[in-house]
Amino acid sequence: MENRRLSPGKPRLMASWQRSERYGVSLDEVRPVFIGSVDTGSLLYECGSEVLTGLQATLANEPVSMMITDSAGLVLARLCGDDSINRSLDRVHLAPGFYFSERNAGTNGLGLALADRAPTLVRAEEHYCTGLRGYTCAAVPVLDPLTGELAGSVNLTTWSDSSSDLLLALAQAAAGNTTALMLARSAGRRMRPVPRGEVFHVYADRFEQADGGRCASRSWNAAVAEAHTALAAGRVVAVVGEPGAGKTALASLAHRQARPRERVLSARPPAPDDVDAWLTLWTPELEKDDTCVIVSGVDKLPAWAAGELVRLFTSARREGARPQPFVLTAEDFAALPSALVALVDTVVEAPALRHRPDDILPLARHFAQRERGRAISFTAAASQALTEYHWPENVKQLKRVARTAAARADVVDLRHLPTQVFSSGTHRLSRLQALERDEIVRCLTEPGATVVRAAAELGMSRATIYRKMAHYEIKVPNR
């Protein structure tokens, strides 16, 4: 890489340039991938277009092009009333239907914002490709307000010689308004909290009663055994699986079996702005021989933070000593930052809870007991409902359900379980539909309830009740 191209003191940009070089991006011209069609039916497209249309009206006479991209850097929409900048952006392929991630176009505003999941301003000379030096780009990632997953970005691009002082602030406002509008149109459900980057010690005495220690299914124990074998041999393990499946619990249990006397620290990913403080908090533990660190959700980390982890992990491997133990977790190995992939020796998958029906009731009883401080029982009907539910949020959701039910009764029956346990429907419901579904479930889970009694209480015919049960995919044991 040419040293003349970037001044020191900008580590995020330098890391992005280094990635661009590894990707083999051209220094002279942009060569993005063209897909030809974009998804104009997504909630991000709908809400982002509405927000940017309003912003465009206030910037009618300014040479600012406003864009929406998906999480992979595909440009979904571009709004601009200035013909000259539109023609210029067409020449560098910054247009709908083209991918403009770092892999495709090198260091640029929207590509770096997506890679680091952080607001980004890239000025003229800071672009990796000389073909983009005529522009200044401000981009801000947009997170799905319900899942917290990266949905895409809002990107504002102008000429490099134009004033850019307010460009990033405008992009941040537009991204924030897009997220708020997405939430408002998502059936009024609650926004997922921002990650806090917690770091905690998994104590041995507490771990004997921890989530994973209660599992007895064949698939869970096979995964634990696989991780144990790898850790005992000094290999670096990546545990992958769906959110809430118990990846950290699996890694902790496997490490306890391999080295019971060592401490286990778990570091959960923080918000992008808190990465520096998060790294400072726990990385000194890597120098201690008696500590294993589990870094959770590394697929959610900014790209530069993944590179810093590689440096820290590598330097912690002392010459002549066994590798300093650490474990990574992610939803999918393919989503692991490329900088970390080379460190991984063994990949272990934490099975989803729906594939481990034998673990559901033992875990439910365990969570309920922790909530109340004594043993809590479940009726046969409640046990059947829990076992037959598909648990889309896995163990995390089961924990929430069991604790809520245990707070209501010593003997948990159908009426103590939340509505979601009886409905396997995946389509989005309006508030009115959700209210109707909940009332039907409430009537069907009362003691001695029948479809006939539920129909009478709700003022519906029995045929209507059956039709609505099918529509909402409601399944109540013995009803």
Task: Label residue 311 by pLDDT band (50, 70, 90).
Answer: confident
**450 Cβ neighbours under 8 A, 6+ residues apart:** 479
pLDDT digits (tens, 9 = 90+) for 144-164: 988 888 999 999 999 998 877
pLDDT digits (tens, 9 = 90+) for 276-298: 888 888 888 887 777 888 999 99
Mean pLDDT of 332-339: 89
Q: CA 131, CA 333: separation in Å to the nearest integer?
A: 34
Taking alpha carbons only, the member of 423, 424, 390, 385 closest to residue 405 is 385
Q: CA 401, CA 378: separation in Å to the nearest integer?
A: 12
Q: What angle do CA 323, 324, 325 make, to 5 degrees?
A: 105
Mean pLDDT of 297-303: 89
Q: CA 232, CA 238: separation in Å to the nearest integer?
A: 14
* pLDDT, position 206: 41
Mean pLDDT of 332-351: 92
* pLDDT, position 263: 83
Domains and CATH numbers, the chain: 3-184 (3.30.450.40), 199-351 (3.40.50.300), 358-471 (1.10.8.60)
Q: Which residue type occupies 327?
A: V
**162 Cβ neighbours under 8 A, 6+ residues apart:** 63, 136
pLDDT digits (tens, 9 = 90+) for 83-103: 999 999 999 999 999 999 999
Mean pLDDT of 342-370: 93
More confident residue, 327 or 438: 327
Q: CA 469, CA 441: separation in Å to the nearest integer?
A: 9
Residue 13 scores a pLDDT above 60: yes
Q: Kindly tell me the sign of the dihedral angle through the C-alpha atoms of 17, 18, 22, 23.
A: negative
CA 160 to chain CA mean position, Å: 34
Task: Label residue 432 by pLDDT band (50, 70, 90).
Answer: confident
More confident residue, 13 or 31: 13
* pLDDT, position 8: 53
* pLDDT, position 189: 56
* pLDDT, position 161: 86
pLDDT digits (tens, 9 = 90+) for 32-69: 788 867 888 899 999 999 999 999 888 877 899 999 99
Least confident of 128-137, 255-264, 269-278, 318-327: 318-327
Taking alpha carbons only, the member of 187, 170, 218 closest to residue 357 is 218
Question: Which pairing describes strands 326-330 and 291-295: parallel, antiparallel, or unpaired?
Answer: parallel
**439 Cβ neighbours under 8 A, 6+ residues apart:** 458
Q: CA 25, CA 403: separation in Å to the nearest integer?
A: 52
**Torsion angle of alpha carbons 319, 322, 326, 327, nearest 10°?**
130
Q: Which tokens in the block code for residue 94?
A: 């910054």
Return the DSSP state at 239: E
Q: How crowded is residue 255: how many other Cβ atoms within 10 Å of its Cβ? A: 25
Q: What angle do CA 479, 442, 444 make, to 5 degrees?
A: 15
Please state, for a pLDDT cut of 70, what percent of the chain lies above it.
90
Q: Which residue type occupies 264?
A: V
* pLDDT, position 398: 95
pLDDT digits (tens, 9 = 90+) for 159-194: 998 877 789 999 999 999 999 999 888 765 555 666
Q: In this structure, are residues 406 and 376 in contact, taking their beta carbons and an 8 Å threshold?
A: yes
Q: Per mean pLDDT, which of 106-110, 265-269, 429-433 is the most reliable?
A: 106-110
Q: In this structure, are residues 158 and 164 in contact, taking their beta carbons and an 8 Å threshold?
A: yes
Taking alpha carbons only, the member of 16, 143, 144, 155 closest to residue 73 is 155
* pLDDT, position 254: 92
Q: 408: buried, middle or exposed (CB in 10 Å: 19+, 13-18, 0-12)?
A: exposed
**257 Cβ neighbours under 8 A, 6+ residues apart:** 224, 228
Residue 453 scores a pLDDT above 80: yes
